[in-house]
Structure 1
Amino acid sequence: MEEVIAKRLASETKLQDALYRLIAFCEQERTYDEVADEIAAYPEMRGSAFPPSTILGWLVSVEAIWAVRDSSLEDEGGEADEPPTGAGAGQLDSKQSQAEREAEIFVSTEAGLAALCRYRSIDRFACLDDQNGRYRPVFVELLQFCKSTQSKQAIEAKLKDNPLTYNPRVFPGFFLDRLERSGALRWDGGWKTTEAGADWLVAYEGAVMPIENK
């Protein structure tokens, strides 16, 4: 199941990191409203055409997250659900009313957490070192530049005279795509270096310019 989860989330290239963060968020039981608020807080989700129920449904459909009835229903004479099993278990029902959906609790599955663990262990920044590291200085320049939010036009102007973008000609979109795929750069009303991107930058600069022992 872990492989199924990884493959499904990888298909959502621009949202993949956010989906894994949602699995981590649901390691503790969460209500629908809590999950919806968390999704709304992710920069990648701002202006998204997908409502929280759809985003959550993707994770439930591959059993990265379980949808179970609120255990507090036991106190009201109802019965709490056991975690569902089997193909399609725990999927969000499109015919559910808002009240029914809000009565559910969402929690990450063992398979979902295993996929998260593997995702965190992958060197997502390896793609920045292909071409024998030819373009690494450009990636570094962009991450430094985007510590403050930058427009695509500003980035294009920044790279306009960079000799590494010629012979062969490489356009800014190539660098933006690589940085976004690695999770180092994120669109949030403009291009902005992420926390992971800043960490990679610090590690890179430390390796290039090691601190001398005094």
Structure 2
Amino acid sequence: MSRGRYKMEKLEDYRTRTLDSYLNDPTFGKTFRDILKFCATPKTKDEIEQYIEKDLGITYEKYKVFAGYFIGALEASGGLRWDKDSRKWVATEVGKKAVS
């Protein structure tokens, strides 16, 4: 797959893909795993977006994928959840176990 283009899946695929399929994705599997490890402690959306763009080097200009895609995919697949008390994103127990 070309580095400059990442073919996005259809919306129904996005909602039904498993956490394992994201973690083993040939283009972004490592990115998904790194995000879950980063979110072992609660993080704001801004912190996650900065981590993805600055630390992991995944930018829209380079890959045509927004950082929010990763948050949404991990939430939909059960790896990440919104913590109402801290108002931050945090890896679920399943997500933590998947990358341990």
* TM-score, length-scaled by structure 1: 0.34
User: What amino acid does structure 1 have at the position aligned with 2:27?
Assistant: R
Identity of aligned residues (%): 30
Give RMSD over aligned pairs.
2.4
| C-alpha displacement of 1:152 | 0.3
Name the SS for the 1:167 alignment partner: helix
Equivalent in the alignment of 1:192: 90
Structure 1 residues 187 and 159: alpha-carbon distance in aligned structure 2, compared to 1, 3 A threshold: same
Q: Distance in 1 between matches of 2:94 and 2:42?
A: 16
Q: Which amino acid aligns with 1:181?
A: A
Please, what TM-score do these two structures have when normalized by structure 2? 0.68
Deviation (angstroms), 1:187: 0.4
- Whose RCO is larger (CA < 8 A, sep 6+)? 2
The answer for the alignment partner of 1:160 in structure 2 is 53
- Runs of 4+ aligned structure 1 residues displaced above 4 Å come to none
Unaligned runs of 5+ in 2: 1-14
Asked whether 1:201 is paired with 2:99, we answer yes
Q: Tell me how many residue pairs correspond in the alignment.
A: 81
2:76 counterpart (163, 169, 181): 181
Are the aligned partners of 1:127 and 1:178 in contact in 2 as well (CA < 8 Å)?
Answer: no
Take 1:181 and 1:127, find their aligned partners in 2: how far apart are those partners?
A: 12
Report the CA distance between 1:199 and its aligned residue: 1.2
Alpha-carbon shift at residue 139 of structure 1 (Å) = 0.8
Contact 2:23 2:30 in 1 (8 A): no
Shift, 1:142, TM fit: 0.8
- Report the 3-state secondary structure (helix = DSSP H, G, I; strand = E; otherwise coil) of the residue aligned with 1:163: coil
Partner of 1:25: none
Q: Which protein is richer in helix relative to its size?
A: 1
Counterpart in the other structure of 1:60: none
